[in-house]
Amino acid sequence: MSTVLVLGGTSWVGGQIAQDAIARGHDVTCLARGESGGVPEGAAFVQADRSDPQAYDEVRGQRWDCVIDVSRQPGQVRSAISALATDATHWTLVSTGSVYADQSGPLTEESPVLEPLDGGTAEPEQYGEGKVACEDAVRHLHRHLIVRAGLIGGPGDRSDRLGHYVARFALAGDEPVLVPAVADQPMQVIDVRDLASWIVTCAETGATGTVHGAGERTTVGDLVALSAEVAGFTGDQVLASEAWLHEHDVEEWMGPRSLPLWLPASHHGMGLMDDTRALAYGLRRRPLVDTLRATLDDERARGLDRERRAGLSRPDELDLIAQLRA
């Protein structure tokens, strides 16, 4: 049994990592504010605000076989390292493909990254720069692993991105659904359960360096078609061009009044993240259809017609379809 400290542990990815480590018999502690939910059963919970200088007092001075940090805030990562570096044998930072300076084409772990954020707090629009600063802090540690995750999907996804199409197809039944006409756009999705399991494995084996955590390569067209199949959709997919969507104030990727997974050409590299190193590190990924089935089950449990963080409301979507067909 190893001692595992998850800095986070109540959010989606952090919670999944903690759950997987517990299932393997490790002694898991989660340090977090607790505002995103509870910790998995079997984990110890240390409630702390990581902006507080005393945040790590309860976990300082113990031997941690591995520390796993999911924070996007450089100040939090730096303070954790300052407090716990001498207590940890291995340190993992969950980072992101958004660190790359040019995301328009294929990406490797050696591709140039953005300039790091100078301060300790990253605003949402500084996500990539903030994560670069987090990475820089971790690199001072002797035994560290930086996992640059691509798009993550699966049950429990609070971003509502991957689940948008499979849920909308299930809700629509035989009625039309609006889809961006970007079928050839590259796309990669990694199941949160596969990512978490692999991160725990890497911590167990002491893997070091920088590595992508991304799904198998596919396209938006194939992903949307598979989502329709999983949902049993029998209606029409109404294709809208990128120009038309922009003219009607529909945004890419995520957020209110968006069509998820559609990316501008400047970000197509997020679907072209090289996985050679990850496979050598032991990454194993389930079929995308299995992820979509589990995502649909989760979407049904949460309500197919609920208010979403990403995607169009159903009435708005139907209005746009009527305009497009007029």
Q: Is residue 203 part of a domain?
A: no
User: Where does a domain end: 129, 149, 169?
Assistant: 149
The closest alpha carbon to 275, from 212, 186, 217, 198, belongs to: 212
- Domain contains 208: no
Which domain does 182 fall in, by range?
Answer: 155-189+216-271+287-325
- CATH number of the structural domain spanning residue 245: 3.90.25.10
Q: Which amino acid is at 5?
A: L
| Max Cα–Cα distance, the chain, nearest Å | 68
pTM of model > 0.85: yes
Question: Quick one: pLDDT at residue 1?
Answer: 66
Q: Does 176 lie in the same domain as 117? A: no
User: Residues 6 or more apart from 236 whose CB is under 8 A from it?
Assistant: 176, 177
* Total domains present in the chain: 2
**168 and 293 share a domain?**
yes
Domain end: 123, 149, 175, which one?
A: 149
Same structural domain for residues 246 and 226? yes
Residue 41 lies in a domain: yes
Instruction: Specify the DSSP class assigned to residue 181.
Output: S
Query: Are 134 and 229 in a shared domain?
Result: no
d(CA 74, CA 85): 15
Mean pLDDT per block of 10 residues along the chain (326 residues) reads 88 94 97 86 94 93 96 95 96 98 98 96 94 97 96 94 97 98 98 98 97 98 98 98 97 93 97 98 98 98 94 96 95
Are 163 and 305 within 8 A, CB to CB?
no
One domain for residues 127 and 175: no
Exposure b/e, 266-286, CB count within 10 A at least 16 = b: ebbbbbbbbbeebeebebebe
pLDDT score recorded for residue 74:
96
Same domain flag for 137 and 177: no
Do 133 and 177 belong to one domain? Answer: no
Same domain, yes or no: 92 and 231 = no
Describe the chain by its helix, strand, coil percentages, rounded to 5: 40, 20, 40
Shared-domain flag, residues 175 and 123: no
Separation CA 37–CA 262 (nearest Å): 30
> What pLDDT is stored for residue 37 in this prediction?
79
- pLDDT value, residue 77: 97
Instruction: Classify residue 219 as exposed, middle or buried by CB count within 10 Å of its CB (0-12, 13-18, 19+).
Output: middle
Question: Could you tell me if 27 and 81 lie in one domain?
Answer: yes
CATH number at residue 92: 3.40.50.720
Q: What is the pLDDT of residue 229?
A: 98
